[in-house]
Amino acid sequence: MREPLICRAVALGLAALTVAASSASAVLASETFARLTPGDAYVFTSNRPGLEQIVRVYRGLVGDEHVWEVHRSLDSAQSGAAPWRTYWRDLDGRIVRSRDGGAVISWEPHDCAAVDGRCEFSFQGEDGRWRDFRRVSRFQGGAWFHELYEITSGQERYVQQGASERDEDGVFTYHQIQPSDQPEMVFQLQEKLRL
């Protein structure tokens, strides 16, 4: 069984806020998703009950946003069924909005994924209310590590920590999240394919 990245980070001395420069971190520039074609699919396994498998399907670049659909099974993705979720990502691969059923969720300016150091964003949830967050990320040992805080009236509240890896195209292949109030969630790439 794979050792969780968060555990590996502790072994690497993650507490030090040093950031290793690496060509893998440079993937998050203009070449993010550049080699993908519509229909490229990524099948993930998950430890979440009721969501043991998800399939992320790249639908292409629309304007200046990359569109991804998420299905709860490979059968759903292959049948052309409506996606469970749709994500719009900026040219650097960061989420700017999503749709889950009928609700549209927004991030301003983006979700701050894989931004070295501190990054603040606002998030509009399904209830229409905007909330402010600070994400502190660092690239170390080939992976991104982050801590997320909600900011309310100038006070920070710890929300989660996580770790992720990306492939040479900027696509997440491993994602681990440890929320402050829920069990750990792990998504592991099982296979890449064309639909």
pLDDT tens for residues 51-104?
Answer: 899 999 999 999 999 999 999 999 999 998 999 999 999 998 999 999 987 789
The yes-or-no verdict on residue 18 having pLDDT over 70 is no
The yes-or-no verdict on residue 124 having pLDDT over 90 is yes
Mean pLDDT of 18-37: 56
Distance, CA of 136 to CA of 127 (rounded, Å): 26
Determine the number of helices (DSSP H) and then strands (DSSP E) in the chain: 2, 12
Distance, CA of 138 to CA of 112 (rounded, Å): 12
The yes-or-no verdict on residue 29 having pLDDT over 70 is no
123 C-beta neighbours (distance < 10 Å), count: 16
Query: Domain residues for 185?
Result: 5-194
Q: Report the predicted TM-score, pTM, of the whole model to 2 decimal places.
A: 0.82
The yes-or-no verdict on residue 1 having pLDDT over 60 is no
User: Which amino acid is it at 2?
Assistant: R
Please give the backbone phi and psi of residue 22, each rounded to the nearest 5 degrees, phi first: -155, 150
The yes-or-no verdict on residue 133 having pLDDT over 60 is yes
**How many structural domains are present in the chain?**
1
pLDDT top residue among 82 and 114: 82
Question: Whose CA is closest to 111, among 85, 92, 138?
Answer: 92
